[in-house]
């Protein structure tokens, strides 16, 4: 546990008797909670009995448990335990129980400034394998994170939010620490009065709360209507069927007429709305099983087949034709030639669309560009299965000034949160200078046997965010509606990746690689200078090392919110000069709600 302030020695002494001290450290660190006021008790001990947690003679077999934060969630322990049933003190809140008997398994209470927290069994080496909502329980008892991120990104699909009020959504996103939302743009590809009005309200609501809005593209899927209108341009699988795979309806972007129609539609889409950026996501081929699953294997449209045949003398369709000699060689050298051709083609399409989007972005005042790309450094099968080649694409990201979001494939979703540190390490040797490298975390139900929950939530989710934020410049989550309700209040703290310490004089030292927000009451000075920049009632701090202390005179906030990176600030003759940097237009929200959109890049502004 990372401890802070004068209570650290006391806390170390308290935890010295706890077998899982390092495991509890994960809980506090990943959720950004200061554990210096927590007395941790596990199982039966003289200290636990003195605190009111007394074992009874009855024993309970524990495998399935329920938690007050989300009673409907299935929480299953990988290995069942036989535990005594405990009597808990009347003043304790029971957070976790055995599902069928109701036997208490985790509980806690306040004792003045101290929190007493008890679990019937050790929390486990990961810190979440038995009690996913430990951090939420501690927050319920009075612990609050001190430092929070204001730089998270999230993907947003409005088909899951048909009745949600844009203002409500934007408020929730900003409170949780989001600075950008990537909107599923295929729903708005064709003009529609009702849908367009909704998206415009959403963008306005986000801008009022200092949130960027990106057009999230999933080419070669264009839109449902585009698919229906152009059967002649539909992609084909190796079985010769139209490539309607899962929700995506894939089009043949290698066809010049199809590409021209999509380019025209994209220009119109970007012109109709006040976007801040464009996310070109997952532009490669299907499928995760590769050529072994012909029903999902693409591209087999006529354009691609003819091109490959012109280069090699082979029709790739013959790999699946039992009467062809190639059918018997599809696991050898001829198929290898097609896989290499396929990866090269995917790269050509990516570069072609980056060129188009860069031109459109510049014409609209410099929209930010993002590439979301599946990882092929950790799971090296992705290049053959999807045609994805990060090493080839990263130099293009540098050339076109695009951020690069690494999406971990479904095949490694069952690995622990520490995988993000290893993932980032594998990209360092191939990362061009200046490319913003990010992580795209999939918060979805997994197909593997994982415990204690199929869905990433609680301690596991917080550790995912924590490790990703420590390892990457940017963290995005897919998708905002898949975040479970108990997790929202602690998302920003988990993603802060900041080290902080409260000093004996009441000041706070904060070290962070990205901008963060500090819970702070009253007037503040940062590194000795008055600091009037806030976000959602918290103090906005620039990256780096900062010391926050109290100041004598009240200071009215100059900005109520800001999503750029504040590089420097000084007061000159009563006017504030702020130097900032932002890959997209920076959004400044003034007291009273006025919004100002500032140019992307590195600039300075003057504020009264």
For 490, list phi and psi in degrees, rounded to 5: -115, 5
How far apart are alpha carbons 318 and 331 in whole angstroms?
13
**What are 262's strand-pairing partners?**
none
Q: Which of 492, 476, 486 is nearest to 443 (CA)?
A: 476
Per-residue confidence band for 8, with pLDDT thresholds at 50, 70 and 90: very low
> What does the CA dihedral 55, 60, 64, 67 come to, rounded to 10 degrees?
-30
Question: CATH for 148-494?
Answer: 3.20.20.80
CB 15 within 8 A of CB 1: yes
User: Radius of gyration over alpha carbons of the chain, in Å?
Assistant: 27
Give yes or no for a contact between 278 and 214, defined as CB atoms under 8 angstroms apart.
yes
Contact 254, 299 (CB under 8 A): yes
Spatial distance between the Cα atoms of 514 and 46, rounded to a whole number of angstroms: 45
pLDDT exceeds cutoff 80 at 318: yes
List, for residues 265-305, the tens digit of each pLDDT value.
999 999 999 999 999 999 999 888 999 999 999 999 999 99
Measure Cα distances from 300 to 241, 418, 419, 513 in Å.
9, 38, 35, 46
Q: How confident is the model at residue 20, as a pLDDT? A: 65
pLDDT(143) > 90: yes
Span 50-68, mean pLDDT? 98
Question: Which tokens in the block code for residue 190?
Answer: 């064709």
User: Residue 7 has what pLDDT?
Assistant: 33
The secondary element (H helix, E strand) that includes residue 597 is: strand 595-598
Q: Report strand pairing: 565-572 vs 516-518.
A: unpaired
Q: Where are the domains of the chain?
A: 5-144, 148-494, 500-607
Omega before 299 within 30 of 0, i.e. cis: yes
pLDDT of residue 6: 27
One-character DSSP codes across 244-266:
EETTEEBB-TTSHHHHHHHHHHH
HEC per residue, 546-596 = EEEEECCCCCCCCECEECCEEEEEEEECCEEEEEEEECCCEEEECCCCCEE
Q: Is the pLDDT of residue 13 over 60?
A: no
What are the structure tokens assigned to 495, written together? 């993603």
Share of the chain above pLDDT 70, in %: 97
Span 539-556, pLDDT tens digits: 999 999 999 999 987 788
d(CA 370, CA 376): 18
How many angstroms separate the CA atoms of 457 and 134, rounded? Answer: 11
Q: What is the pLDDT of residues 440-459, one digit of tens each?
A: 999 998 888 899 999 999 99
Residue 1 confidence (pLDDT) above 90: no
pLDDT in tens, 350-386: 999 999 999 999 999 999 999 999 999 999 999 999 9
Given pLDDT bands bounded at 50, 70 and 90, which one contains residue 162? confident
Helices (H), 151-223: 166-175, 193-208
587 forms beta bridges with 597
What span, in angstroms and rounded, lies between the C-alpha atoms of 472 and 462? Answer: 15
The pLDDT assigned to 5 comes to 29
What DSSP letter does each residue of 196-207 carry, written as one string? HHHHHHHHHHHH
Tokens of 279: 């996310």
């Amino acid at each position: 546990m990372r401890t802070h302030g004068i209570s650290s020695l006391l806390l170390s002494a308290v935890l010295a008797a706890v077998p899982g001290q390092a495991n509890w450290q994960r809980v506090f660190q990943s959720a950004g909670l200061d554990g210096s006021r927590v007395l941790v008790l596990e199982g039966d001990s003289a200290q636990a009995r003195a605190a009111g947690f007394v074992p009874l003679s009855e024993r309970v077999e524990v495998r399935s448990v329920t938690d007050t934060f989300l009673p409907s969630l299935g929480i299953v322990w990988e290995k069942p335990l036989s535990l005594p049933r405990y009597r808990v003190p009347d003043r304790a809140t029971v957070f976790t129980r055995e599902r069928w008997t109701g036997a208490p398994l985790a509980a806690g209470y306040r004792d003045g400034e101290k929190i007493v927290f008890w679990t019937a069994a050790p929390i486990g080496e990961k810190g979440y394998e038995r009690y996913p909502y430990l951090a939420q329980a501690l927050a319920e008892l009075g612990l609050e994170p001190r430092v929070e991120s204001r730089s998270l990104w999230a993907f947003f699909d409005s088909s899951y939010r048909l009745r949600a009020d844009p203002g409500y959504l934007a408020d929730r996103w900003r409170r949780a620490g989001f600075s950008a939302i990537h909107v599923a743009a295929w729903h708005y590809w064709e003009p529609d009065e009702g849908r367009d009005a909704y998206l415009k309200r959403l963008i306005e609501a986000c801008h009022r709360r200092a949130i960027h809005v990106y057009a999230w593209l999933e080419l070669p899927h264009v839109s449902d209507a585009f698919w229906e209108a152009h059967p002649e341009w539909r992609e084909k699988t190796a079985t010769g069927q139209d490539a309607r795979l899962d929700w995506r309806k894939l089009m043949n972007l290698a066809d010049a007429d199809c590409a021209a129609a999509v380019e025209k539609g994209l220009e119109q889409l970007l012109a109709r709305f006040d976007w801040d950026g464009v996310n070109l996501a997952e532009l490669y081929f299907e499928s995760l099983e590769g050529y072994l699953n012909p029903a999902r294997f693409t591209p087999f449209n006529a354009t691609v087949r003819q091109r490959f045949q012109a280069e090699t003398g082979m029709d790739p369709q013959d790999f699946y034709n039992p009467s062809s000699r190639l059918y018997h060689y599809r696991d050898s050298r001829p198929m290898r030639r097609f896989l290499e051709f396929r990866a090269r083609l995917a790269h050509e399409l990516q570069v072609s669309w980056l060129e188009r989007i860069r031109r459109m972005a510049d014409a609209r005042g410099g929209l930010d560009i993002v590439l979301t790309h599946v990882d092929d450094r950790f799971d090296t099968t992705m290049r053959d299965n999807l045609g994805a080649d990060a090493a080839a694409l990263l130099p293009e990201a540098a050339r076109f000034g695009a951020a690069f979001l690494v999406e971990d494939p479904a095949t490694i979703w069952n690995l622990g949160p520490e995988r993000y540190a290893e993932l980032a390490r594998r990209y360092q040797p191939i990362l061009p200078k200046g490319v913003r490298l990010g992580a795209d975390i999939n918060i979805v139900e997994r197909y593997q046997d994982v415990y204690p929950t199929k869905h990433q939530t609680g301690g596991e989710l917080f550790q995912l965010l924590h490790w990703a934020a420590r390892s990457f410049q940017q963290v995005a989550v897919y998708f905002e509606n898949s975040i479970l309700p108990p997790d929202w209040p602690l998302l920003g703290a988990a993603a802060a990746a900041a080290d902080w310490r409260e000093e004996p004089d009441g000041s706070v030292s904060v070290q962070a690689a990205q901008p963060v927000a500090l819970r702070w009451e009253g007037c503040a000075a940062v590194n000795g200078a008055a600091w009037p920049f806030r976000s959602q009632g918290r103090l906005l701090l620039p990256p780096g090392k900062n010391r926050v202390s109290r100041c004598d005179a009240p200071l009215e906030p100059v900005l109520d919110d800001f999503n750029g990176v504040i590089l420097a600030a000084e007061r000159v003759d009563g006017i504030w000069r702020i130097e900032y940097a932002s890959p997209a237009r920076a959004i400044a929200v003034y007291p009273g709600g006025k919004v100002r959109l500032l140019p992307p890049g590195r600039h300075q502004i003057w504020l009264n």
